[in-house]
Amino acid sequence: MTPLPRTLGLLGTGVIGGGWAARALHFGIDVVALDVDPGMQDWLRGAVENAQPALARLTCAPLPPPGRLHFTTRLEELAARADFIQENVPENLGLKQRLLAEVSRLSPPHVVIASSTSGLMPSDLQREMRAPGRFCVAHPFNPVYLLPLVELVAGKLTESATLDSAAAFFKHIGMHPLTVRREVPGHLTDRLQEALWREILHLVNDDVASTGELDDAIVYGPGLRWAAMGTNLIYHLAGGEGGMRHMLEQFGPALAWPWTKLEAPALTETLIDRMVEGTRAQAGGRSIRELERLRDHCLVAIQRALREFDIGAGATLRALEQRLERDAAARADGAEGSALRYETRVRPEWTEYNDHLRDYRYGQVFGDAMDALYRAVGVDEDYRRSGRMYYDVENHVRHLAEAKSGDDLCVTTRILAVDEKRLHVFQSMHRRRDQRLVATGEYLHLHVDRATAKAAPVDPRVRERLEALQSSQAAEPLPAGAGRRVGAR
């Protein structure tokens, strides 16, 4: 299996290049970014910093150490350091062809080179390249650091292994690669977006609606459905028990009615003024950066909600978190005490009006620490699918100090007792910046067979691992507060 890239080369550092950088760095990939303008280095670092608040809220899964960002103005340096190259220069066919050909002559022939083009044909882009079989289109969507979709399109000379390698890399950084069957101008998503955009321009041009009214028509209606299912599945539901066939039979004749206009209207000054005035009114005085942050927080919240139902972008996020958890377990495997130590950061939405961690979130953090311990001893997703799991049957949490948004927390777990059905643990939550003890949690867990809904013996291999961890802590003194009742010293 081809090793996953460790350094992403970015050929161009505009909005899309900045988005690629933020996503890759967040998931542990080094980035070497090239731009002919040295001043873009500060812009790029600012773009990465601006993306961090939303990225930090996207997942609670353990992350690898962040990647390192290096900026250069020399194409030779980018080609020498990168093991995957993503081109993001303006949509000019001649410019892209020249730069892609040049970087292909400087980089090793096995390095995949991809283009972020939103509509140019890959066969045209790869025409002058050295080893053109390693080229493909990888078209992302803004903001790249949050939206998981990336369209993969092969040219006439593209090798199938190139698409496989690109798909594996993009999945690794939490994306949903969608392979387009054959190259067409505009790929898939932009063609769909453009059809809607043309109708918007017609409706504004004909003074039928304002930009705000048309956005409301999407935001309060079909936009909510599209995030989970998309147009085709939604229309399948519209047909009732008869599904898509009944829907087409009932509503198909309407397709012949002249509701829509395929050609866009002329961009007259009047139309441009209406579009500008309408969107300015919608912005309500908020800056582009303010609107970007609002958009990003909404995108995170939507994906977190969809994750619970394992659908759409939420399914991609869930798969990413599962991979991150496996990787974290592999990194920790063999490290002393790693199964008994869990680290996280207080996310903004976990806090209440005083910016303190909400009461119930303490239980969530302790629970996440237990999940990490369980994965380490073999009580993982496969184990749970077998119908067995530990359940919390008794607990006592003490709140000793404040934890605020952005605080790094470390939870250590002490195994007090373990037998064939019970697991008794004491957890200590510390604030990393000053090692202050923030909270403790004492829990009794009972192993249950869900088929019978009764306590049942744990797998002997799991018990053996838990007992080994307990033995490793035998010389440590009993934690202060262990065994306390509420109000008792």
Do 278 and 163 share a structural domain? no
224 in a structural domain: yes
Do 214 and 101 share a structural domain? no
Q: Give the model confidence (pLDDT) of 379-395 as tens digits.
A: 988 899 999 999 999 99
Worst-scoring range by mean pLDDT, 100-109, 150-159, 285-294? 285-294
Instruction: Check if the beta carbon of residue 366 is closer than 8 Å to that of residue 397.
Output: yes
Report the CATH number at residue 269. 1.10.1040.10
pTM (predicted TM-score): 0.81
Residue 186 structure tokens: 């505009």
Instruction: Check if the beta carbon of residue 193 is closer than 8 Å to that of residue 119.
Output: no
With both helix axes pointing from N to C terminus, report the angle between 288-309 and 40-58 in degrees, rounded to the nearest 10.
Answer: 30
Do 376 and 266 share a structural domain? no
pLDDT value at residue 332:
63
Hey, which residues does 33 pair with through a beta bridge? 10, 71
485 in a structural domain: no
State the residue range of the domain holding 346.
334-472
Report the CATH number at residue 151. 3.40.50.720
Of residues 100 and 261, which shows the higher confidence score? 100
Mean pLDDT (whole number) for 198-209? 95
DSSP-derived 3-state class of residue 251: helix
pLDDT value at residue 237:
84
57 in a structural domain: yes
Do 204 and 160 share a structural domain? no
Q: Give the model confidence (pLDDT) of 72-121 as tens digits.
A: 999 999 999 999 999 999 999 999 999 999 999 999 999 999 999 999 99
Do 149 and 238 share a structural domain? no
Do 443 and 421 share a structural domain? yes
pLDDT value at residue 326:
81
Report the CATH number at residue 403. 3.10.129.10
308 in a structural domain: no
Do 154 and 206 share a structural domain? no
Q: How large is the C-alpha radius of gyration of the chain?
A: 27
Mean pLDDT (whole number) for 4-8? 97
- What is the tally of structural domains in the chain? 3
Do 160 and 206 share a structural domain? no
pLDDT value at residue 401:
94
Do 16 and 164 share a structural domain? yes
**Nearest Cα to 27, choosing from 53, 61, 71, 3?**
61
Do 132 and 197 share a structural domain? no
pLDDT value at residue 386:
94
Q: Give the model confidence (pLDDT) of 321-376 as tens digits.
A: 989 888 877 776 655 557 888 888 888 778 888 889 999 999 999 999 999 899 88
Distances (CA, A) of 389 to 384, 421, 451, 458: 6, 10, 11, 8
Residue 42 banded pLDDT, cuts 50, 70, 90: very high
270 in a structural domain: yes
Q: Give the model confidence (pLDDT) of 216-241 as tens digits.
A: 999 999 999 999 888 888 888 888 88
